[in-house]
Amino acid sequence: MQVNEYKPLIVAFCCNWCSYAGADLAGNNRLAYPADVKIIRVPCSCRVNPMFILRAFQRGADGVIICGCHPGDCHYTSGNYYTRRRMAALFSMLDYLGIEKERTRVEWVSAAEGAKFAATMNDFAKTVASLGENKRLEDLRCKK
Amino acid sequence: MQKITRDQLVSKASELLSNGTVCCVLGWGMGEFDYDVTPTVFNTVEELNNGFVFNDFCGANFSKYLVSKAAKCDGKILVLLKPCDTYSFNQLLTEHRFDREKVYVVGIPCEGMADVSKVKAICGEGILAISSNGDNINVTTLYDENPIVINAADVLAERCVNCKSKKHVAYDELLGDEGEVIESNRFDEVARLEAMSADERFAFWQNELSRCIRCNACRDACPACTCEKCVFDNPNSGVENKSPANSFEEKLFHIIRAYHVAGRCTDCGECSRVCPQNIPLHLLNRKFIKDINEFYGDYQAGEEVGMRAPLVNYTTEDLEPGEVFDRGADNA
Ligand code: SF4
Ligand code: SF4
């Protein structure tokens, strides 16, 4: 019997206008990135309520990444600037509570950056895999 | 410890009541014990004379009470505010939580308040009476006829040890002299935690936060938490009550609470004061304050009315979330 290799579960919040299209482009170009990256499409990176991130962890995600348009390129002019501040504060707090900072990331990926999308996901998955399963944030009540 | 006396406060309040400036007074009344002084509304001079209390345990920050009380008054309500309370007062005004015209603020000087858990750590349980005696506090317990005399400075509440300001930033009238903003060491403990490894920090918080009984007192006392409908009251939120040990919920509640007040928390210290489990909630709030100061420039919530909170603001030059950890003061 083959022992299953550990594969981290990653939740990626992607903004509709840039990063989601970037993911699409990665797919069209046949660029490989881990199948365990679950993409959730959001209208703008600033739609990501910090609660979404906490919930993802609570339900067993091992890493959470937010992708949005490059600063200055937001479809709604300034959404990602707010994301930037919010997530800086939140991730710093998670780290302060002892949740490894490598498990959270914000990355700006445009619709033309399919290659960057795939590379980012590969790199993030590798980093999270090296940390192992997320035990600190899971909520046993939420586990199936 | 206290420069101002109960009688001075009562006579000031009586004067303002009698001459019609205000129609009621928000002050401290006696609770069950000498140390659990309770916020009380006094409507007459007689009530003031009988029930008004001022001692080393008058920590309660009245700003938040104005949200519900000011609207109910026909005229103005008199509120007594310590310097740290006036920051919360301004912050609430910034958020349009009550009408400034309905409030008459008397600023009172403060030399620091005592923390009853520190008193108990010295004298034990069974406290019958506590009274101020200059720089000392006399404590009478069940087990000893003679009062135990302790130095008031030894039982100063944490937030008073690290007091950030003796300056009143809002008042209609000031008793005593104008104070100064002071340099405090309030971020030292945060920095000490930051210097630990992630594992050590996790163990530290697991130890602290697992004691939480989810009484919600920290939320109820907080002048920044004034939403009428709170996420923690929603039975479908998944965070409304105490969870089994070792579950993330313990931390979830605390992250949400601290994050909701990030950028608006004035560091008044009410949350840590009221926590029956002595959880150092100020260390969570101060982490956000310290980060905001370092990332976006010094910001003291409540310093002035009308300031824009840092988390609902931005500049195009802000640092990237990833850079947060690459700064000199790296946590790892
Ligand atoms: S979080 Fe605590 S210190 Fe901050 S405003 Fe609320 S009660 Fe005061
Ligand atoms: S006051 Fe203390 S015990 Fe009560 S909910 Fe807040 S942290 Fe938990």
Distance from the alpha carbon of residue B191 to the mean position of ligand 1, in angstroms: 19
Q: Which pTM does this prediction carry?
A: 0.92
Q: DSSP states of chain A as a string?
A: -PPPPP---EEEEEETTTHHHHHHHHHHTT----TTEEEEEESSGGG--HHHHHHHHHTT-SEEEEEEPPTT--TTSSHHHHHHHHHHHHHHHHHHTT--GGGEEEEE--TT-HHHHHHHHHHHHHHHHHH----SS--GGG--
Q: Write out the residue range of the structural domain in which residue A80 sits.
A: 10-142
Give just the sign of the alpha carbon dihedral B266, B272, B275, B277.
Answer: positive
Contact B243 A139 (CB under 8 A): yes
Distance from the alpha carbon of residue B218 to the mean position of ligand 2, in angstroms: 5
Q: Does the beta carbon of B223 lie inside 6 Å of ligand 1?
A: yes
Indicate the residue type of B141: T
Q: Does the beta carbon of B269 lie inside 6 Å of ligand 1?
A: yes
Name every residue in A having a CB less than 8 A away from some CB of B.
50-51, 54, 57-58, 71-72, 78, 81-82, 84-101, 104-106, 136-142
The whole-angstrom distance between B116's CA and the closest CA on chain A is 28
Contact A88 B295 (CB under 8 A): yes
In the β-sheet with B24-29, what is the strand arrangement from edge to edge?
B38-42, B24-29, B77-81, B103-107, B173-174
Which phi and psi (to 5°) does residue A91 adopt? -70, -35
pLDDT of residue B243: 67
pLDDT of residue A3: 63
pLDDT tens for A32-85 read 999 999 999 999 999 999 999 998 998 889 999 999 999 999 999 999 999 999
Write out chain B residues lying below 8 Å of A88, CB-based.
Answer: 291, 295, 318-321, 324
Residue nearest atom 1 of ligand 1, based on CA coordinates:
B265
How many structural domains are present in chain A? 1
Is residue A3 one of the residues assigned to a domain?
A: no
Distance from the alpha carbon of residue B143 to the mean position of ligand 2, in angstroms: 30
- Residue B104 pLDDT greater than 80, yes or no: yes
Is residue A1 one of the residues assigned to a domain?
A: no
Q: State the DSSP code for B156.
A: B
Indicate the residue type of B322: G
CATH of the domain at A59: 3.40.50
Is residue A4 one of the residues assigned to a domain?
A: no
pLDDT of residue A117: 97
What number is the average pLDDT over the span B232-237? 84
- The number of CA neighbours under 13 Å toward the Cβ of A71 is 15
Q: Does the beta carbon of B284 lie inside 6 Å of ligand 2?
A: no
Which value does ipTM take for this structure? 0.91
